[in-house]
Structure 1
């Protein structure tokens, strides 16, 4: 099954070469997946651009193979890509994304390393019950923290609200829909009081899949919006924040050693 090209990601196990990667950095944006491959890997090969889910395989400076793949936006697309990545032999996935802070001390340009997610995602409910924990792998989380410290990148470690929608689900009112459901009015302040650090749209489902499927997963996101001030993405800081998240993820992948049982 995995020898053939898989329907969504557009490649199979045989396409990964003689040194197949077991680690994938997973980005929502295909341009971010390309940037990781071209900026941090050598001997890069484009595996597929199927459905905009661009995937690249290359070699890190220490000789380790790495897959840079695209999840697409949101949990449903992520769930499909992750399932197929596991089928071709990936055993560790680090999501490299962007997010919006809901805490005053979590500033734009810094990164959030997610230890666990408040998971409000329909796709995740098809994987496991609502009460099933959406937790990052602790060893991967430590590796990301150590990478941030080594690189002197400002980081925050904690709980992420992983939701299905960018506008309504994150209580944005400056959009076409000015009439939020009652259940979403005040939800950001409620999450803030629960010490949730940020909003994003994929990691909760990724973490539940990791628990059920038996692979390791982590998440690092660059902060591109400060929701205690406004709803907009701060475009002037987006590249800086994204680059910080990428550098930390690449460093963690490069130095990753599978923990002894």
Structure 2
């Protein structure tokens, strides 16, 4: 048991899916896992452990933003022995060819600042996905026929950003989408010798103004979850 995770020893699997929304964690556990058991509800940040095709899996909410994710990812890796962590979440599309409900598999995650920024001082660390997870996720998406994009994303430290100049440069440099957690997850995984990936569903679009309703954000992201699970247990 840690400060933020109330699970007992042995109740957290080595493979963890991390949605930001705790209710999405509950939906994903009830939909995709067999024998899902609630193992954490500290501060309402729900976590469940069950089995997918015989493999133990934990689905743990991370909250919004890199500081919140950093708390849960650190405790999962350092205290519970998690080895593979896959963020499953929503993002905003930034390129015209990226459509609502498309899946983005994040190869890299750029950011202005993160909780780990102080570690590097003057160095610009480049957070990137684990190659084996990335390769397996792309293969899983292609096998499903899911409309998918692979490339760089941007992890913002604010939700209500007011930097159109920054948005313009990200679009110019091919950033596919924006979210708030992946860069810190990738950095922590590198530090703790773990595997990490972000598989994201486009829920709104910065170019067109389109957006999914809240209920769809919570419950209609099945392709993303299936891709994450297939990737997590693919042969390395």
| TM range, smaller chain | over 0.9
Partner of residue 100, structure 1: 92
Give distance in 1, aligned partners of 2:168 and 2:216: 24
Give distance in 2, aligned partners of 1:163 and 1:124: 14
Give distance in 2, aligned partners of 1:146 and 1:41: 22
Aligned residue among 39, 42, 46 for 1:50: 42
Partner of residue 177, structure 1: none
Aligned residue among 52, 58, 66 for 1:67: 58
Q: Which runs of 5+ in 1 are unaligned?
A: 172-183
Partner of residue 113, structure 2: 121
Residue 32 (structure 1) shift: 1.0
Asked if residue 131 in structure 1 is aligned to residue 127 in structure 2, the reply is no
Residue 13 (structure 1) shift: 2.2
Aligned residue among 224, 241, 250 for 2:229: 250
Say which one has the larger Rg: 1
Q: Is the 8 A contact 2:93 2:202 kept in 1?
A: yes
Residue 51 (structure 1) shift: 1.0
Distance 1:10 1:242, change over 3 A: same
Asked if residue 34 in structure 1 is aligned to residue 26 in structure 2, the reply is yes
**Residues 86-235 of structure 1 mapped to structure 2, 5 A cutoff:** 86=77, 87-129=79-121, 130-168=123-161, 171=162, 184-230=163-209, 233-235=211-213
Q: Is the 8 A contact 2:27 2:218 kept in 1?
A: no
**Cα shift readout 1:189-219 (whole Å, capped 9, x = no counterpart):** 1101111111000000001111111100000
Give distance in 2, aligned partners of 1:165 and 1:242: 23
What is the RMSD of the two structures over their aligned residues, measured on CA atoms?
A: 1.8
Residue 238 (structure 1) shift: 3.7
Give distance in 2, aligned partners of 1:42 and 1:237: 23
Give distance in 2, aligned partners of 1:213 and 1:43: 29
Equivalenced residue count is: 233
Give distance in 2, aligned partners of 1:204 and 1:35: 25
Q: Is the 8 A contact 1:141 1:218 kept in 2?
A: yes
